[in-house]
Amino acid sequence: MSQKGILRPGHVCIRVMDMNQAVKHYTDHLGLIETDRDDQGRVYLKGWDEYDWFSVVLRETQEAGMDFMAFKVRDRVALDSLEKDLKAFGCTVERLPAGELKHCGERVRFDSPAGHYFELYADKDYYGNEVGITNPEAFVDGIKGMGTHRFDHCLLYGDELDGSVKLFRDVLGFDITERVLDGDVMVGAFMACSNKAHDVVIIRHPEPGKLHHVSFLLDSWEEVLRAGDIISKYDLALDIGPTRHGITRGKSIYFFDPSGNRNEIFAGGSTWYPDHPTVTWNAEKLGKAIFYHDRQLNENFLSVVT
């Protein structure tokens, strides 16, 4: 867990080009639950096993991609301290008032060297998961589609990997769980503020500020296979999978929302503790690292971003 007070990924704001199509995709197919809308037209969603009011925000615009990814911090003391550290690092920092996102307290928004925007917040309204916290059942009835448990992580592409890694490691307190090296040059960093395999990933890429995928958690390989059935049944745009990764050991399938944003359904993955060494993959083994079964790179998977 981050020693700077960051607890976990909190939410992601995804740009979509047709809100009706997007809501249908994320609710009927992924199984997220719509919890609210606001006067800007933004739609708020959560997984069935998440406690906070939302973890996904959809915003309709002319270009797909990600507006920002946010992390929940332990308390207001951590929020204030991290805001000062971000300014000292050289980030452009903005304090957004409580309620600018419905059900969310004050947020600290900041830019990163690779061109992405991130946010920190300490407070968000409690919604509750779908099974409760007293004598809960192990699963819930009536969830649609893939039955997404929760928002898990984002993988991002940007042009200044080294500076963004320094920001996450030295300022925000993340650990580098795994990395990809091309010779002595790091081309990918998998980073965690928890004991998950990764909470955010950044890949070196010529263009700044790009989104590769938003990932959602399922429980097992069998649930990933069922997600593949749903992708086929409803003719969703499949990217690749079901498969598994060498990096993180996760089981995975990739597909696209109607706006072209890549989604991932993810299960399993390695466990991280701060005393573990960083796992290194060499670029010549990247095929096996990404697609452990095929051991071959897929050019569309590497190059298609929003």
Asked if domains 6-121 and 151-303 share a fold, the reply is yes
The residue annotated as part of the active site, out of 198, 205, 212, 223, is 198
The residue annotated as part of the active site, out of 119, 178, 213, 223, is 213
Q: Decide: 112 and 157 in contact? Cβ < 8 Å.
A: no
The residue annotated as part of the active site, out of 106, 178, 223, 264, is 264
- What are the residues whose beta carbons fall under 8 Å from the beta carbon of 232, sequence distance 6 or more? 238
**pLDDT value at 2 more than 70:** no
pLDDT of residue 1: 54
CA dist 255 and 146 (Å) reads 13
DSSP three-state, residue 268: strand
CATH superfamily of 151-303: 2,3-Dihydroxybiphenyl 1,2-Dioxygenase, domain 1 (3.10.180.10)
Please tell me the number of Cα atoms within 13 Å of 197 on its side-chain side: 20
**pLDDT value at 190 more than 60:** yes
**pLDDT value at 178 more than 90:** yes
Residues 25-78: tens digit of each pLDDT: 999 999 999 999 999 999 999 999 999 999 999 999 999 999 999 999 999 999
| Residue 245 a catalytic site member | yes
pLDDT classification of 173: cutoffs 50, 70, 90: very high
Look at 5-9, 117-121, 220-224, 298-302 and tell me which has the smallest mean pLDDT. 298-302
Position of tokens 């690749």?
A: 240
Domain spans of the chain? Answer: 6-121, 151-303
| Residue 254 a catalytic site member | yes
The residue annotated as part of the active site, out of 149, 153, 205, 212, is 153
**pLDDT value at 3 more than 60:** yes
Query: Which among 151, 162, 212, 153 is positioned nearest to 185, based on CA atoms?
Result: 162
CATH of 6-121, one of 3.10.180.10, 1.20.1560.10, 2.40.10.410, 3.30.450.40: 3.10.180.10
Strands across the sheet containing 210-217 = 237-244, 250-256, 262-268, 210-217, 150-158, 200-204, 185-192, 175-182, 279-282
DSSP three-state, residue 301: helix
| Residue 205 a catalytic site member | no
Residues 198-251: tens digit of each pLDDT: 999 999 999 999 999 999 999 999 999 999 999 999 999 999 989 988 888 889
Question: What is the mean predicted confidence (pLDDT) over 138-161?
Answer: 93
Residues 259-292: tens digit of each pLDDT: 999 999 999 888 989 899 999 999 888 878 888 8
